[in-house]
Structure 1
Amino acid sequence: MTFQSTFQPTTQLTRYAETPSQTGGPYVHIGLAPQQAGFEIFDNNFGNLLVQPATQGERIRIEGRVFDGTGTPLRDVLIELWQANAAGKYAHPADRQDKPLDPAFRGWGRTGADFDSGVYSFETVKPGQVVGANGQLQAPHICLILFARGINIGLHTRLYFADEDLANAADPVLNGIEWEVRRKTLLATREQRAGEVVYRFDIRIQDTPDGGQETVFFDV
């Protein structure tokens, strides 16, 4: 007895149209940082102040602007920050390093750029070194993510400190960036302003007409 299969192989795949997407703007700050836009919606407003009087470590101010491809500062951009404390430990259960937590340090912040100048800023402390996934010590750094009009998903980048030469030279992430000119886009420069330590960190979404290099972004 023989059997004849009735199965016919599919030769044509069904194709569906892509679901429409939206960018985070132009008023992303109203939903995520409403107080800056003059709306008192939340009891607990997440802001750009990460420190308290009892916070340990060197107080610093991070300041900069985000530029689009024409060299124009973005004024509707929202930036979130995530970093370790001065001892190099994150305020998160996944960080199992044997280092002290600082109960007076949150380690996370959110702010929009100033609507007039485009300048964003954070009041925080300089982070300590943390151990990476491969067990190698990383240079002090701060993680940033950007949301704005024209950006479908958040852009992840890192801020390193230009005055940490030795640590930067051994950092596995920085060393993974092939070209030195590209590595420099992740370095914040130190200034002393009215007794305050300020690290300047401008971010460029694309190369700009003045010769500014596009900031390195990471696929996270």
Structure 2
Amino acid sequence: MNGWNFQELHETPSQTGGPYVHIGLMPNQAGIEVFDHSFNNNLVKAETQGERIRLEGQVFDGLGLPLRDVLVEIWQADANGVYPSKADIQGKQADPHFFGWGRAAANFETGLWSFDTIKPGAVPGRKGTLQAPHIALIIFARGINLGLHTRIYFDDEAEANAKDPLLNGIEWAPRRQTMIAKREERDGQIVYRFDVRIQGENETVFLDI
């Protein structure tokens, strides 16, 4: 092994996301065009199946102040509960017109982030269980060593939420509400609001992934 003694190697110091993380991952928002294809917050096409929704929110720190240099990514199943990935082993055809993954940077002035997507279908869980419709979300920001993972459920899926194995695994019931987005209709569009609180009162439940 070229003389290396791997027993002498140690873990390098961890680092937080820097102040320019959004420029590195979404340079177009900073007015820098370097990619032939820039990832964005739109997961749908005109042909995409399912109910169109807008998902939006802000990320708040322990003082209740919105973070304005946050980068958010989501991953979800299509309207039929199928992930557009070879890792999905259900044997079903995923919607070819749905991306399933998106990336958004918060507005530099307000901290608001958003995605244009569809409401996902329920997906199978472990041991024959069924998971309530949900969207996986990860947050990157200055001062965070590792991306923060959570899930977004929907407040109009109360029956499915009550049976979801992950939500039921949260022993203190009020904490489950920190993972549930609130539905509203705005100018004829369905909007789900999901705010994330890093610390403090009503801190969002984060997942160890």
State the TM-score, normalized to the length of structure 2: 0.93
Q: 1:84 aligns with which of 77, 83, 86?
A: 77
Asked if 1:65 is matched to 2:61, the reply is no
Q: 2:32 aligns with which of 32, 39, 47?
A: 39
Q: Is the 8 A contact 1:60 1:196 kept in 2?
A: yes
Listed one character per residue, the Cα deviations across residues 69-110 of structure 1 (whole Å, up to 9, x for unaligned) are 011101111101000000000011111214331111000000
Q: How does 1:1-220 map to 2 (within 5 A)?
A: 19-207=12-200, 212-220=201-209
Assess, with a 3 A threshold, how the Cα gap between structure 1 residues 15 and 104 changes in structure 2: closer, same or farther: closer
SS at match of 2:175: helix
The AA in structure 1 aligned to 2:89 is: R
Bigger shift: residues 54-63 or 133-142:
133-142
1:134 CA displacement: 2.7
SS at match of 1:182: helix
1:17 CA displacement: 7.5
State the TM-score, normalized to the length of structure 1: 0.89
Gaps of 5+ in 2: 1-6
SS at match of 2:19: coil
In 1, the alpha carbon distance for the partners of 2:11 and 2:80 equals: 46
1:18 CA displacement: 5.9
1:113 CA displacement: 0.4
Listed one character per residue, the Cα deviations across residues 22-42 of structure 1 (whole Å, up to 9, x for unaligned) are 111211110101111111010
SS at match of 2:176: helix
Identity of aligned residues (%): 65
Alignment size in residue pairs: 203
Gaps of 5+ in 1: 1-13
Indicate the structure (1 or 2) with the bigger Cα radius of gyration.
1
In 2, the alpha carbon distance for the partners of 1:134 and 1:183 equals: 22
In 2, the alpha carbon distance for the partners of 1:148 and 1:22 equals: 11
RMSD: 1.5
In 1, the alpha carbon distance for the partners of 2:38 and 2:126 equals: 32
1:215 CA displacement: 0.2
SS at match of 1:81: strand
1:19 CA displacement: 2.7
Assess, with a 3 A threshold, how the Cα gap between structure 1 residues 170 and 37 changes in structure 2: closer, same or farther: same
In 1, the alpha carbon distance for the partners of 2:144 and 2:175 equals: 21
SS at match of 1:134: helix
In 2, the alpha carbon distance for the partners of 1:42 and 1:102 equals: 26
